[in-house]
Structure 1
Amino acid sequence: MSEALSTMSKRNRVARRAGLLGAVVGVAAAGVAAGVAAERLLLRRRSAIAADPLADERFGRLPYDEMTTVTTADGLDLHVEIVEPEDGIDLDFGLNSPPEPTLVFIHGFCLDMGTFHFQRTELTRRGGYRMVFYDQPGHGRSSKLRQGEYTLNALGEALKRVLDETVGDGPVILIGHSMGGMTIMALAELYPEMFAEQIHGVVFISTSAGKLDEVTFGMPDFLARFSRPLIPVITGAGRLTGGMIDGLRRASTDLAQALIRKYGFGTERPSPALVRYVEQMNAHTGTEVVARYLRAIYTHARYPALEALKETKVLVICGERDKLTPPDHSAEICRILPDAEFVPVPEAGHVALLEQPDVVNAALMDFLEQVD
């Protein structure tokens, strides 16, 4: 009898917890629905006030001189696009001058090489630069792991393979956004000698060397603390629920764009076309891929790896309103690398290179002129 009562008591406790969880989810769903409705109304009002200056921008459709595939040690095929310098430009400026560095761009989590749209456009217009862009494993047009989790060490090895096959022994400037910056740090941890010899410069845009588990994403601290223990659950559930969640993501475009505006941008009125473009890059990254990356990003800690960059010219750029890799993370990189130049970008969030391209491009061009 007592065992039966104990079983009933446990069931009642579980039911109460389920009811509480259901109430919380219900309130959250109602809030999301109201938020999406408000966002739609706000967007309609905004579009009536001013036309989108980027409505005709050809996002994701930029020319290249060569498209190739680089295969990683774990069998993943990486999509690579190469832009050659403009014909007729003498890059050596004399028989004994060293070759100009190749610029290699490494994008961030849930994005693809299109993140560098405005930098690629401007540098192509100016001519004189050889540029290499690639989609990181599981992103864009690159292939995905069949099993296991993605690791930053593997991303560092993938970058090494791209350098070996597209640059060889020539000089390089690495430009990494968000997880792309972390990939550069992983390369520095694995091959520190490259930063004293082949790599002439590094540009970190909206990135971090660690402690991402402490980021609050702009939420009240009690909510941020609640979300952190969910990461292992999300990681484990990826393969089971990925297809269903992907379907919900596609069906809830308005919600996805609202979240991207909140967490990706710093300006109050970002271009709707630009928000849609970032949302499309996010949506193209499957939920299973997202889940397999989370642990790598959350446990990323490569402060010691930065020591390899002390003899390398470094530029650090960050949006002043970045909620995902806040400015204090860039400040910490500069503390370890006191000779690094830091450029804060006003009115910009995590995708500052898309949101405020004129500021980012000006800083990048100044940096390129200073690198030997």
Structure 2
Amino acid sequence: MQLSSSFQSHGWEIKYSLQGQPESINVRKPTVVFVHGTPWSSGVFQPIAKALLSRGQYQVLLYDLPGYGQSQSSLKSDPAGQQSGQFAGDTSVKTQGAVLADLLNHLQLDGKDGRRAPAIVAHDIAGAIAFRTHLIHQCDFSSLLMMDTNTVLPWGDGFYKLARSKAEVFQELPHGIYAAMVRAVIQSACRNPKVLASGWEDALARAWVADDNEDSTAASEKQSSFVRQIAQANDADVAEMLDADMYKQVRCDVKIVWGEQDQWIPRHKMDSLAKMLGQRLKEFVVVPEAGHLVMLDQPERVSVEIFDWLSKYT
């Protein structure tokens, strides 16, 4: 699905798509905003978004995070889009939370001043992004569904910790070795290899791995972009909320969905999040036979969980 609309924020050109708008200004539809994680794109949500749109009851906002998917253009003329350390542009969770707040404000979907609050579906690091948008930038949500989210420290496994500490080494890896590494990361996130073999692996790798038709410059840029989003992941962006016990200040009801075979986010981290949310947590669903990319491993089950949640809380 092509993200045909553009919006500029914090030195990035953000690509997004808002679909299912009511035909009359007198008709109001609930809005569902899908926020993807790393190293993914809005593409992981497109099958579910299409199913949701087919019902005709909701308008749906999809966008690619700054530095991901179709939003990889940093604005060199904007000081925020210039060199951040060894990389062009800032992809930190702090920036991502501010960009989401700007986008919701731009579309009048931030729940402020009488504007309608959207339902948020957040996966992976998008959980922390959504929390910053809500708790620090004060955007209101009608509800929040947290899917295999990364909101409890420490972040990352051994690979991610190494990539963060030795970013310059990973930028210089030979292309073949780098491409194999990216595919290994993707494979570790999915429980069912048949899902990836059906075309998802190539689709998810496309943003980061150059194909045979692209030159060495394009390949180098994609490699740098992949390393950047790992290197710029800053624990302080989550620690700021944890240290202030902010998760207890969430103002909407929350549902957690977690893939039982998630190798990236262990169960104890989801349990910790559940405890911090207190009475705001209304449901905790464990999906069998699903890894970190739970929406790809078990799309029908995840769709049911999302539809059921929206029917109750929008």
Report the TM-score when normalising by structure 1: 0.67
**Match for residue 205 of structure 2 among 259, 279, 282:** 279
CA distance in 2, matches of 1:118, 1:206: 18
Contact 1:201 1:371 in 2 (8 A): yes
Alignment map for 1:222-233 (pairs within 5 Å): 224=158, 230-233=162-165
Alignment-mate amino acid for residue 301 of structure 2: V
Alignment-mate amino acid for residue 299 of structure 2: P
Contact 1:174 1:203 in 2 (8 A): yes
Q: Deviations over 1:215-254 (max 9, x none)?
A: 54xxxxxxx4xx576344323446x52xx5556444x4xx
Alignment-mate amino acid for residue 136 of structure 1: L
Contact 2:15 2:70 in 1 (8 A): yes
Give the corresponding residue for 2:5. 68
| Cα separation, partners in 2 of 1:120 and 1:203, compared to 1, 3 Å | same
Q: Does 1:175 align with 2:117?
A: no
CA distance in 2, matches of 1:109, 1:296: 12
Q: Does 1:267 align with 2:192?
A: yes
Coordinate RMSD, CA, aligned: 2.8
Aligned pair count reads: 279
Give the corresponding residue for 1:82. 18
CA distance in 2, matches of 1:158, 1:298: 16
Give the corresponding residue for 1:103. 32
Q: Give the match's secondary structure for 1:212.
A: coil
**Match for residue 165 of structure 1 among 81, 98, 106:** 106
Give the corresponding residue for 2:268. 328
Contact 1:70 1:78 in 2 (8 A): yes
Give the corresponding residue for 1:365. 307
CA distance in 2, matches of 1:76, 1:268: 34
Say which structure is richer in helix: 1
Give the corresponding residue for 1:203. 145
**Match for residue 256 of structure 2 among 289, 305, 316:** 316
Q: Deviations over 1:174-229 (max 9, x none)?
A: 1111122221022134224x3xxx3111111111212234x54xxxxxxx4xx576
Contact 2:134 2:141 in 1 (8 A): no
After TM superposition, give the deviation of residue 297 of structure 1 in Å.
3.1
Contact 1:265 1:352 in 2 (8 A): yes
After TM superposition, give the deviation of residue 359 of structure 1 in Å.
0.9
Say which structure is richer in strand: 2
| Cα separation, partners in 2 of 1:232 and 1:359, compared to 1, 3 Å | closer
Q: Give the match's secondary structure for 1:211.
A: coil
Unmatched runs of 5 consecutive residues or more in structure 1: 1-60, 93-98, 217-223
Q: Deviations over 1:258-311 (max 9, x none)?
A: 5522x11123643512333333355379332233332443624343332231x3
Contact 1:317 1:330 in 2 (8 A): no
| Cα separation, partners in 2 of 1:291 and 1:282, compared to 1, 3 Å | closer
Contact 1:188 1:306 in 2 (8 A): no
Contact 1:318 1:344 in 2 (8 A): yes
CA distance in 1, matches of 2:312, 2:209: 38
Report the TM-score when normalising by structure 2: 0.78
| Cα separation, partners in 2 of 1:256 and 1:140, compared to 1, 3 Å | closer
Unmatched runs of 5 consecutive residues or more in structure 2: 75-80, 85-89, 110-114, 211-220
